[in-house]
Amino acid sequence: MKKIIFFSCLYLAGLANLKAQQAPANLLLLNNYTYTSKHRLVGEIHSANSVQDKSGFILKGQNAKFFHIRKNNQLFIRKNAASSDAQWFDLTVSSLTGESSYFRIVNNRFINNKVIAHRGSWKNTKSPENSIASLQHAILQGCEGSEFDVHMSVDSVLYINHDPKIQGVEIETVSSDNLSKILLSNSEVLPTLRAYLEEGLKQNRTKLILEIKSSVISKERSLALTEKVLQLVREIKAQAWITYISFDYDILKRVLEVDPFAKVAYLGGEKNPASLAADKFYGLDYNYAIFQNKVNWIKEAHANNLTVNAWTVNDPKIMDWMLANKLDFITTNEPELLLKKVGEKLADK
């Protein structure tokens, strides 16, 4: 009996711990992180912990003078700052009750050409998939986004790799000391998520499409991984760059519990646009065959303000179909070919 009580207490403590991580203390949120010289409303400031949004936020730090808050907690960038060449401004926002967060407010020069490089641009550049080199190529080529996959080591460090194993090593069961000794075929070390995001944050043209992989071990580890990802994204102020994708619906729901304004797209394929919209998702990111079988889902998604992304489209004819049917994004191992097609389409107009 004593044993049962002991383990029940452990279980409850575990649950309490998980719950505490869902809504980090002293956290403020923004519902958008970008501006242009013409569109100077950045977004609204929200408190993650209070049910009712209060007014009374204060801007701090050396860039505070470039911003101001108007009614409904709307954050605006001032005209001179918005029309400067700056790539971004870091800004601290505090509430009168002691909550405080810092944000990177980014000049929106993000590309709109639909092309998402799948695991980076690796195939024709002869780079390893999911390497920092493949990310750099996607950026240099001018892709709208570059996709990559995230796993977590036994000591909770996040790594970029497609499969749960690399070179026979199961990422989840090995420590970061050992994982960081693994070299990819181009002699790059197995990238951590931190190194990967830091590379992506050197620019503001290509977005980062972050796939959270389910744990092979347990749902708890999948959710712990998700929280680690969000923690790191907050720490290095990467929010403006990121869309989260996953085949695991619980992972994406957890993302939205922690940051209700995060851009989240589901990979699974079986949920209709209305149900994703009801759960406040950003988009559908499905196998291309699903859209060819259910063409009406494209219109339904757009009517529900959802974005539509198809993977993994490598065949030129299927690329043409996706472009003709007005998908928002197309994920491909052949970004060079798709960039060419998008360029030709623009020239025809």
Binding site for Mg ion (CB under 5 A): 149, 211
Nearer CB in complex with Mg ion: 211/328: 211
Residue by residue, DSSP assigns 264-277 as EEE-SS-S-HHHHH
What whole-number distance in Å separates Cα of residue 189 and Cα of residue 166? 12
What whole-number distance in Å separates Cα of residue 185 and Cα of residue 201? 24
Nearer CB in complex with Mg ion: 99/211: 211
Of 106, 77, 114, the residue nearest 201 (C-alpha): 106
Measured from each CB, the residue nearest to Mg ion is 211
What is the identity of the amino acid at 184? L
What is the identity of the amino acid at 134? S
Q: How far is the CB of 165 from Mg ion (least distance, A)?
A: 15
What whole-number distance in Å separates Cα of residue 68 and Cα of residue 338? 41
Nearer CB in complex with Mg ion: 66/122: 122
Nearer CB in complex with Mg ion: 89/148: 148
Residue by residue, DSSP assigns 265-310 as EE-SS-S-HHHHHHTT-SEEEEEHHHHHH-THHHHHHHHTT-EEEE
Q: How far is the CB of 6 from Mg ion (least distance, A)?
A: 41
Q: How far is the CB of 146 from Mg ion (least distance, A)?
A: 11
Nearer CB in complex with Mg ion: 211/248: 211
Start-end of H helices in the chain = 2-22, 79-82, 132-141, 176-179, 193-200, 219-235, 249-258, 273-278, 288-293, 296-303, 316-324, 335-348
Q: How far is the CB of 133 from Mg ion (least distance, A)?
A: 17
Nearer CB in complex with Mg ion: 163/315: 163
CA 6 to each of CA 14, 157, 170: distance values in angstroms, whole numbers, following the listed order: 12, 30, 32
Q: How far is the CB of 101 from Mg ion (least distance, A)?
A: 29
Q: How far is the CB of 263 from Mg ion (least distance, A)?
A: 16
Q: How far is the CB of 331 from Mg ion (least distance, A)?
A: 8
CA 33 to each of CA 40, 143, 167, 268, 331: distance values in angstroms, whole numbers, following the listed order: 11, 20, 38, 28, 24
**How far from the centroid of its chain's Cα atoms is residue 67's Cα?**
25
Q: At what angle do helices 249-258 and 219-235 cross, to 10 degrees?
A: 40
Nearer CB in complex with Mg ion: 211/259: 211
Query: Do 292 and 327 touch, CB atoms closer than 8 A?
Result: no
Nearer CB in complex with Mg ion: 162/345: 162
CA 337 to each of CA 203, 314, 332: distance values in angstroms, whole numbers, following the listed order: 23, 9, 9
Q: How far is the CB of 147 from Mg ion (least distance, A)?
A: 6
Nearer CB in complex with Mg ion: 82/115: 115
Q: How far is the CB of 311 from Mg ion (least distance, A)?
A: 8
